[in-house]
Amino acid sequence: MSIGEEMTMQDVLNTKATFHNVRPGGPKDKRLRRVELMGENTPKPLHWMKVEQLTFDHVISEKVVKERMQQLADIGDIYRPVDCDTKEPVNFLLVGYFSQSNLLPAFRAYNNMELEGIQFSVTICKPWLIGLYPKGGVIPVGGS
C-alpha cells in the first residue's frame, strides 16, 4: 500500500501483525511509530453506509448484518451508534467499506434487504454523519 491508495483488509492485517509482540516504549516500537508518522501505514478513511432498520420486532445484531454485507466486499468496520441523550442504541448501523468503488454496488445489492424478517433501508453516508455518531458512544462537544 502506498500513499493515496485505498486500504484493503490485507493492509489492516499486515499493520496489526507489524505491532504484534512489540514491547511498548522499546526501540522497535519507537521505530515503527516513526514510520507510521511518515504516512505509509496510516489508516485510510473508510467509506460509510447507513443501514437503517425499518421494522422493530427485534434488534438485529451487527454480526448478522456484517455476515450478509461482507459477501460483496470486505468491511473495515461496523457499529451501532448510541444516542447521546438517551444512551440507547439507535435504529441503524454504520458500515464502513475500504473502497469507494464498493459503495454503489453495495447500495444496489442491499437496499430494501430483509434479514430474519426485518426490513432494512440503505443509504450512503455524508462524512458529517460519522462525526455525529462516533464509535463507542463518545459524547460530542456541546452534548449532554
For the chain, give every domain's residue range: 1-43, 47-132
The pLDDT value recorded for residue 60 is 84
At 65-89, the pLDDT tens digits run: 899 988 888 888 898 888 877 878 8
**pLDDT band at 144; cut points 50, 70, 90:** very low
The pLDDT value recorded for residue 142 is 45
Place of cell 457499529: 79
Per CATH, which fold does 47-132 belong to?
A: Alpha-Beta Plaits (3.30.70)
**pLDDT band at 50; cut points 50, 70, 90:** very high
The pLDDT value recorded for residue 136 is 63
- Say which range, 30-39, 56-65, 127-136, has the weakest mean pLDDT: 30-39
CA distance 65 to 72: 12
| Structure letter (DSSP) for residue 82 | B
CA distance 131 to 129: 5
At 100-142, the pLDDT tens digits run: 888 889 999 888 888 888 888 999 988 888 878 877 655 444 4
Q: Which three cell numbers stand for residue 83?
A: 444516542
Q: Which of 85, 102, 93, 101 is nearest to 122 (CA)?
A: 93
Residue 115, beta-bridge partner list: 118
Phi and psi torsions of 27, nearest 5°: -65, -35
